[in-house]
Amino acid sequence: MSTSSNTPQTPRATEQSSPARQDEARPQVIPKPEGWKQPMGPDGRPQLQFAQSQRVKQPPQHLADMTLPERIQRAKELGYPGFRAKQLSVHYFQHYTSDPAQMTDLPAGTRDELVNEFLPPLLTEVRRLRTDDGATIKFLWRLFDGALVESVLMRYRNRITLCISSQCGCGMNCPFCATGQNGLTRNMSTGEIVDQIVQANRAIVAGELDAPTAAEIAEEADHAGLGEEAEFAGEVERTGPQRVSNIVFMGMGEPLANYKRVMNAVHRMVDDAPEGLGMSARGITISTVGLVPAIRKLAAEDLPITFALSLHAPDDELRDELIPVNSRWKADEAIDAAYEYYEKTGRRVSIEYALIKDMNDHGWRADLLADKLNARGRGWVHVNPIPLNPTPGSIWTSSEPDITREFIARLEAKGVPTTLRDTRGKEIDGACGQLAASED
């Protein structure tokens, strides 16, 4: 494996000198796409897809696309009493069912039509992969037009997190991310986004998600996840929650490039049952490459959701190559917007930082990151390094353990709270950046 193709200046012999190898003795690997090419625009900047094509077909309208008053209105238009909309909402959001046979409170002759109108199938399960211990499940879904998306369900000691997709593909073209390499097919609808949760809840209720092993629980203590405030405090540890408690928009897609549908989906998550799922907004994390105007809009929503910025480099020179959208909004602008999010909402924000060997893991970058964060204030931010999920045989390799420790120690030495994120689901290609839906 060659990790030094762009960095002839440095011998690799210093590699063994633990614990902390000095930056001067380490190469600087330059990011580059492998096996695909970043299209460039006439302005010399990467050509990214911020919107779907106008011609793209939309999935059928679903109850989850509508507010409860809109559903009632629709039921009346179809000649039904308004309360049928509420009954259907209970079935979907509280019993997690779209099966007319189970809807015994509806007149038998109306069930099929009501289900056709309000609960058309959105996500068809193509494949499901479980880790050996059964505490992590990756779902592969086919949508009405054949598009494929994935979600990953993870049971922890006292929370259940679902990592959901918001777009079919992604237009942000980050060279280290499996989803980014095939471009954007289309935005997912609100109903498609929400149905990932309802289907996951259905699997949980059916007993299909096992408890984590003791080893995994021990690991959680030091590798805390995101949005932990939403733990189901009242429930006993032995059983844990029986439905998804935490959502991370860290599956396929750039959620802020599908703003309206994503925000509608967030409303469905937090709306009281049966209008929605009645989840806590604090347990929902939206992660972005840094679409600055959309971050500002999100801050103005007045919802206590958790915000995460995928920074991955504090300096523009590297971030320009790592996160192509940095050609529009620079690292400092993205950090400013994250700080504004904190100021407006009072919610501490997360900075995501995938540690990539000899690329962004140098000690000076940890120092620079800490300085940039501290320059805006204290106590407003939390850094979440995560070892890169590697592409074998490429420059995309995760940092060595001693380098990872050193990176974290440097941030902590400057007073920045830092938690190494876990990489659940690796063995089933369900970990961050590995979601590249295919049927093979």
Type of residue found at 250 = M
> Which are the catalytic amino acids?
150, 432
Of 352, 361, 406, 422, the one binding ligand SAH (CB under 6 A) is 352
Q: How far is the CB of 229 from ligand SAH (least distance, A)?
A: 20
Could you give the CA distance from residue 23 to residue 7 in angstroms, rounded to a whole number? 13
* Nearer Cβ to ligand SAH (289/294): 289
Give the SS3 label for residue 386: strand
Q: How far is the CB of 108 from ligand SAH (least distance, A)?
A: 44
Site string (155-194) toward ligand SAH, x via CB under 6 A:
-----------------x---xx-----------------
- Size of residue set near ligand SAH by CB under 6 A: 16
The CB-side HSE value for 267 (13 A sphere, CA atoms) comes to: 17
Give the SS3 label for residue 11: coil
* Nearer Cβ to ligand SAH (68/432): 432
Q: Is 117 in the site for ligand SAH (CB under 6 A)?
A: no
Q: How far is the CB of 245 from ligand SAH (least distance, A)?
A: 19
Could you give the CA distance from residue 181 to residue 344 in angstroms, rounded to a whole number? 34
Could you give the CA distance from residue 383 to residue 311 in angstroms, rounded to a whole number? 10
CA 413 and chain centroid, separation: 29
* Nearer Cβ to ligand SAH (199/310): 310
Q: How far is the CB of 433 from ligand SAH (least distance, A)?
A: 2
Q: Is 354 in the site for ligand SAH (CB under 6 A)?
A: yes
- If phi > 0 it is left, if psi is from -120 to 50 it is alpha, else beta; for residue 415 that is left
Of 235, 335, 253, 244, whose CA–CA distance to 284 is shortest?
A: 244
* Nearer Cβ to ligand SAH (117/320): 320
Q: Find residue 284's DSSP bridge partners.
A: 247
Could you give the CA distance from residue 265 to residue 192 in angstroms, rounded to a whole number? 9
Q: How far is the CB of 434 from ligand SAH (least distance, A)?
A: 6
Residues counted in the chain? 440
The CB-side HSE value for 203 (13 A sphere, CA atoms) comes to: 26
Could you give the CA distance from residue 272 to residue 281 in angstroms, rounded to a whole number? 11
Is the alpha carbon torsion for 245, 250, 256, 262 positive or negative? negative
Q: How many CB atoms lie within 10 A of CB 51?
A: 12
The residues, any chain, with a CB within 8 Å of residue 234's CB and separated by 6 or more, are none
* Nearer Cβ to ligand SAH (264/310): 310
Q: How far is the CB of 255 from ligand SAH (least distance, A)?
A: 6
Stretch that binds ligand SAH, among 8-16, 207-215, 366-374, 384-392 (CB under 6 A): 384-392
Type of residue found at 255 = P
Could you give the CA distance from residue 129 to residue 87 in angstroms, rounded to a whole number? 33
Q: How far is the CB of 431 from ligand SAH (least distance, A)?
A: 7
Site string (231-270) toward ligand SAH, x via CB under 6 A:
-------------------x---x----------------
Residues 23-82 binding ligand SAH (CB under 6 A) are none
Residues 272-331 binding ligand SAH (CB under 6 A) are 287-289, 310
* Nearer Cβ to ligand SAH (88/174): 174
Stretch that binds ligand SAH, among 238-246, 362-370, 382-390, 411-419 (CB under 6 A): 382-390
Q: Is 389 in the site for ligand SAH (CB under 6 A)?
A: yes
Closest residue to ligand SAH, judged by C-beta, is 433
Could you give the CA distance from residue 227 to residue 307 in angstroms, rounded to a whole number? 9
Would you tell me which residues interact with ligand SAH (CB under 6 A)? 172, 176-177, 250, 254, 287-289, 310, 352, 354, 386, 388-389, 432-433
